[in-house]
Amino acid sequence: MENLVQILNRIDGKGYKAYKELQGKKFYKNGVSVKLTHVQGDPFAAPSVAEVTVKNSFPERFFDERHRRIALEDFLVRSVYKKSSALSFKGGTGHSGKLFVPKPSQVVLQRSSIKITKDSIVVRIFVGLPANGRRINGKNALRLFENIFTLAGQTLFLKNYSGEAIENVITLSEEQHFIRKKLSEMRLVSFIADGSILPRRSGVDERRLEVGAVPFTSPDSLAVEISLPGGKVIRGMGIKEGITLIAGGGYHGKTTLLEAIHKGIYNHIIGDGREYVITDESAVKIRSEDGRSITNVDISNFLQNLPQIKDTEHFSSKDASGSTSMAAAISEAIEMGSKLLLFDEDTCATNFMIRDARMQRLVKNEPIIPLIDRLRDLYNGFGISSVLVIGGAGDYLDVCDTVIVMERYMPLEQTERAKEIAKEIPSNRDFTAIPKMKKVRNRVLDTQAFLKSVLKEKVKLRGKSILQIGRTEINLTFVEEFVESGQFLASGRALLRIKSQNKVDPAYSIVKSLEDCIQENGVECLFSGTVYPTLSEVRRFEIASTLNRIFGLPVK
């Protein structure tokens, strides 16, 4: 049987398609196995995929629980990402000589680029098979394979790392997991540890702000202490279940706090600054999204008697307004089981957020029931908490349970003062003339009809947030839960899985089964054939957000 050197010598100088001979074959060196699972059609096409396997040399306690395994996978794939750039080279035309995995974000996620089991570690990497023009460059191909073996040798074995580095990663994972489980027990929706660095460098750079960032400190009245495994006690601000309002002057840190709470649905890496910002995993941020498509969503809790639209229990639109998009987003989040909704006044439709006493008296036929009149129903009736950034609508002081005022990036609890102000300056709003909030209708998805849609098998990401599946484009720009390109692609692959199920079931059940599949089997379960190193873990909420933006979705 020919070895790698013999094959490359034989096909050197031949047409590029001769590389197909390598596909599926395993090559070994120094305890490392390399197999090409996909070979690109030419040097300018998307790179080939190599599956690199080594024997697992890490102690079982580092990966015997899901959260620890994912933390270790995340740590190793970051090492692969850093080392691969040094081992890539310009080996000819197109992508020749490239060696890489997709860049990880600041959060710890399960990814299709790596899989750890008791026996092995498998890393999937993109490789650009070298060519001169469209003819194979065997010499550079051998160099590329040598670099793959070197990369595995430098990154995938326990001996490559200090014991302290690995222990720190696993310990942090254990602590984050512990705090997350404690939230419901303590009746909290979020915890922000003292000393956390919440500001980011910029809107396009999620790394911590190094210069000028004020470490977070909880006000004593909201401070809680959590005893972590190992005896460490951590102090921070606990945001209680119910309705929490975050106020403050412009540029004093209220949106920064909300964004940290929002991204607390994920665990963050060491050095991020938000390592101990932990939020209820079902949190969803709601915002205005003018122009989004909506299909058969019950928005009647927020909009009734729309002119020329009789039925808001089965509302559809190709071009939703700010208010209808927010109403739909809330109903969709509730349908998927969210217990925490986040709102930032700056990104919400004003007419959906508030209608003051003067406008109530002036406009008698207003179809919108504003959010302010539903927050208490959401919590008291359905156990759904809310955290809101409010800068200008003081009427919200009437309905909140906790008020936090940000002053020079420091949180101050002002609940009692807010209640005093509400009594001193009554809003005079009419809170009584609205119907009681009813349970959101759970829709049923017909995947047989979905099968006949224009969705095709190819999933790709255009720009940063436009998901394209065949001829269907899904704009996910305003779904702020996505933090990595791989999550967009995973949501797209999830839709293809839905398409293949061929049944009629509640939308929640279908989407939840995909979330369960990802958690139990890895995000690679979304592939039907070759596994590419492109996907990152998503929750059911992101899958549903993608599904819900397909106009004409067969739901009833």
Element of type H or E holding 492 = helix 485-501
Model pLDDT, residue 1: 52
Does 552 have pLDDT greater than 90?
Answer: no
d(CA 160, CA 165): 10
Read off the pLDDT of each residue in 247-263 and give the average, rounded to a whole number. Answer: 96
Any domain includes 325: yes
Asked if the model's pLDDT at residue 481 lies above 80, the reply is yes
| Residue 323 to residue 332: CA distance in whole angstroms | 14
Alpha helix stretches (DSSP H) within 347-474: 350-353, 357-362, 375-382, 415-424, 447-450
Place of tokens 């190793």: 76
Pair of tokens at residue 201? 């460098």
My answer on whether 362 and 414 are in the same domain is: yes
Q: How confident is the model at residue 412, as a pLDDT?
A: 98
Tokens standing for residue 368: 């919108």
Q: Of 119, 141, 161, at which residue does a domain stop? A: 161
Closest to 342 in 3D by CA, of 232, 245, 439 = 245
Residue 368 per-residue DSSP state: B
- 452, pLDDT greater than 80: no
pLDDT confidence bin for 455, thresholds 50/70/90: low
Q: Assess if residue 322 is contained within a domain.
A: yes
Q: Is it the case that residue 310 has pLDDT exceeding 70?
A: no
Output the pLDDT for position 316: 92
Same structural domain, 357 and 404 = yes
The count of residues in the chain is 556
Instruction: Please give the share of the chain, as a percent, with pLDDT higher than 90.
Output: 87
d(CA 28, CA 41): 25
DSSP string of 16-53?
GGGGGGGBT-EEEETTEEEEEEE--SSTTSSPEEEEEE
Q: What gap in Å lies between CA 435 and CA 437, rounded to an integer?
A: 6
Q: Which of 391, 424, 457 is at the close of a domain? A: 424
Question: String of b and e for 198-234 (b: at least 16 CB within 10 Å)?
Answer: bbbeeeeebebbeeebeebbbeeebebebebeeeeeb
Mean pLDDT of the chain: 94
Q: Are residues 462 and 400 in the same domain?
A: no
Rg (CA), the chain: 26
d(CA 545, CA 264): 19
Is residue 249 included in any domain, yes or no? no
The domain containing residue 490 runs over which residues?
Answer: 444-548
Do 45 and 114 lie in one domain? The reply is yes
553 occurs within a structural domain = no
Rounded Cα gap, residues 193 and 49, in angstroms: 41
Rounded distance between C-alpha atoms, residue 11 and residue 358, angstroms: 81
Whether residue 194 sits in one domain with residue 131: no
DSSP string covering 85-106, please?
A: HHH----SSTTTT-EE-PPP-S
Same domain, 156 and 68: yes
Position 453 pLDDT exceeds 80: no
Do 39 and 98 belong together in one domain?
A: yes
Residue 76 has pLDDT above 70, yes or no: yes
In a domain, 481, yes or no: yes
Number of structural domains in the chain: 4
* Same domain assignment for residues 418 and 299: yes
pLDDT tens sequence across 158-187 = 999 998 999 999 999 999 999 999 999 999
**For the segment 311-350, what is each residue's pLDDT rounded down to a tens digit?**
899 999 999 999 999 999 999 999 999 999 999 999 999 9
Neighbours of 169 (CB within 10 A): 22
**Whether 344 and 363 share a structural domain:** yes
Instruction: Give the integer Cα–Cα distance in Å for 225 and 228.
Output: 9
For residues 221 and 144, membership in a common domain is answered with no
Residue 556 within a domain = no
Task: Specify whether the CB–CB gap between 185 and 240 falls below 8 A.
Answer: no
Using a cut of 0.75, tell me whether the model's pTM lies above it.
yes
Specify whether 291 is located in the same domain as 356.
Answer: yes
Calpha distance 418→246 (Å, rounded) = 11
Contact 488, 537 (CB under 8 A): no
Pair 232, 323 in one domain:
no
What is the pLDDT averaged over residues 250-279?
Answer: 97
- The HSE-up count of residue 109 (CA atoms within 13 Å, CB side) is 30
Q: Which of 132, 161, 190 is the last residue of a domain?
A: 161
